[in-house]
Structure 1
Amino acid sequence: MGDIFQREVKDHWYVKYEEASFPFIQKGWVLPVDRWRDFDPFILMAEDWFKRGAFSDHPHRGIQTITYVIDGRLEHIDNGGGRDILQPGDVQYMNAGWAARHAEEGVDDDIAHTLQLWLNLPKSKRKTETSYQNIYAEDAPVLSVEGGSVKVFSGKFGDVKGPLQSVVPITLAEVNLEKGASYTHVLPENHNAFLYVLSGELELGTSETVHLAKHGVATLTYQEDGNPENSSEFTITSASRRAKLLIYSGAPIKEEIVPYGPFVMNTMEEIKQAYRDYHAGKFGPPAI
């Protein structure tokens, strides 16, 4: 084996927010959808503040979603009989597959504050069965590191494996660091990866460090044709009293897609068919 690939920051930016009309409060694009080719297998990530009624019953097809609750309470309702309340630090995974119909609501008078990531499905898996999985903060195992901790939602870090079972394997970790603490995050070298800073300030990378604070996003270099069995390393150092970030990674799918409304398919004709199927009742009853 050769040297382990050292990742650096490929690109970085800060999220811009816009106020929205009630029951929406505010929205920002962490990953803007028009750059999905850069983010493959990820399509978009939205940061939303909203109250009850913003995301009532609606359909999805052709994607997976990963929702991280930052603040407030989020009620999940699906038309398969699922209903649960997620709290800060909890994550919900959904495989929309062929036909999901669900609602995501603020609870009572809460303002729900969430990050929702859309994860692509390969063409061969777009017709998979719809499923949901809730990962509560206390059920995600924690890896202790010097000066901090890593909560593992998906993937394996050291001997710690996350409970999230994605149709397309990904990693998701929440990293918490004290001031001055350095942590080296290990990922498969062929995974496209990005991070989002939830709080504090960080120095990222090794050869040319990038300073990033709250609301900052960074994509990382990777070996596009690398071996999934080979590891890569990325160094993170906290530059504030406490810092928290989320790191996501996944192997690119390398297929053309058409994101349109709540659906993601490979062609516009497949999008039109999804709308026809929805209006014909093939997605089942409303999620109420």
Structure 2
Amino acid sequence: MFQRNIKDHWYVKYEQASFPFIQKGWILPVERWMDFDPFILMAEDWFKKGAFSDHPHRGFQTITYVVDGRLEHIDNGGGRDILEPGDVQYMNAGWAARHGEEGVEDDIAHTLQLWLNLPKDQKKTETSYQNIYSEEAPVIQVDGGSIKVFSGEFGDVKGPLDSVVPITLAEINLEKGASYVHSLPETHNAFLYVLSGEIEFGMGEETVQIKKHGVATLTYNEDGDASRSSELKMKAKSRRCKVLIYSGTPIKEPIVPYGPFVMNTMDEIRQAYRDYHDGKFGPPAI
């Protein structure tokens, strides 16, 4: 079985922002999207109501994890809901999403938002949203911890998130001294983000310890068999360790991330702006 190790790792740097934004950091910086394929970028944001009001998207998907506070989702298809810590929202922007993401009342919303690419032949898919509440995600108990499965299959446990481009997403909680081996399809590109504590990843002389705010990409078998599993070994070095691990199959297509759109060419970006200004994304999300 292919044994994964840490390929690259770094710590998020944060910047203060003007109200109603509070603070922002890039977990996955957009200029490295080719390294992260099929993932494009991931932002960590603290904000209040008014920061992310009505806006459009096209050509990709988002996965938003609520760390703290409350997040209100509003879309122009009539959807409206409030997500709380540990909840996840999936959006397939497809051809024409228009929505808002707001802090609730006087809350400071603290979120992680991942942008996940769509293949060229699926950028015109229908816009859809799916909320996965924390208590709806199945939990696997392991020695010294637990694994919450949002997306993908781990043994006979399947997560409820149903994305256009299949991915895995798991939240791993470990107590000090606990060891765990995480399985991923060996051809998936993968990364992790440590939300709390300090964890040792990998095996042999290639182990790396990563603490809170640390990000790492993982080695993978690009020319392997998608039906075979690979393993990532980890051991908690402190109390209350929590890490999110994401994985997906690289799409291997050139993209142009520009503003709220992700297309394959600049001409398609220009067309997206024209369509939005011509009202083809529908009414505002209010």
Q: Structure 1 length as normaliser, TM-score?
A: 0.99
The partner residue of 1:138 within 115, 129, 135 is 135
The partner residue of 1:102 within 83, 99, 111 is 99
Distance 2:187 2:174 in 1: 26
1:24 is matched with which residue? 21
Q: CA deviation at 1:227?
A: 1.0
Share of identical aligned residues, percent? 81
CA deviations 1:17-74 (Å, max 9, x no partner) are 0000000000000000000000000000000000000000000000100000000000
Q: Secondary structure at the match of 2:82?
A: strand
The partner residue of 2:60 within 32, 57, 63 is 63
Q: CA deviation at 1:127?
A: 0.1
**Paired AA for residue 73 in structure 1:** R
Greater shift, 223-232 or 172-181, is seen at 223-232
Q: Secondary structure at the match of 1:281?
A: coil
Distance 2:262 2:29 in 1: 15
Distance 1:118 1:212 in 2: 23
For 1:252-267, list aligned pairs within 5 A: 252-267=250-265
**Paired AA for residue 203 in structure 1:** E
For 1:46-195, list aligned pairs within 5 A: 46-195=43-192
Q: CA deviation at 1:226?
A: 1.4
Q: CA deviation at 1:112?
A: 0.1
1:14 is matched with which residue? 11
Distance 1:160 1:248 in 2: 16
Distance 2:271 2:74 in 1: 25
Q: CA deviation at 1:192?
A: 0.2
CA deviations 1:99-135 (Å, max 9, x no partner) are 0000000000000000000000000000000000000
**Paired AA for residue 252 in structure 1:** P
Distance 1:225 1:24 in 2: 42
Q: CA deviation at 1:241?
A: 1.2
Distance 2:203 2:35 in 1: 22
Task: Name stretches of at least 5 consecutive residues in structure 2 with no aligned partner.
Answer: none
**Paired AA for residue 67 in structure 1:** T
How many residue pairs match? The answer is: 285
Which 4+ stretches in 1 moved above 4 angstroms?
none
Q: Secondary structure at the match of 1:97?
A: coil
Distance 1:229 1:212 in 2: 29
How large is the Cα RMSD of the aligned pairs?
0.4
**Paired AA for residue 285 in structure 2:** A
Is 1:228 matched with 2:226?
yes
Distance 1:183 1:282 in 2: 49
Q: Secondary structure at the match of 2:234?
A: strand
Distance 2:225 2:165 in 1: 17
Task: Name stretches of at least 5 consecutive residues in structure 1 with no aligned partner.
Answer: none
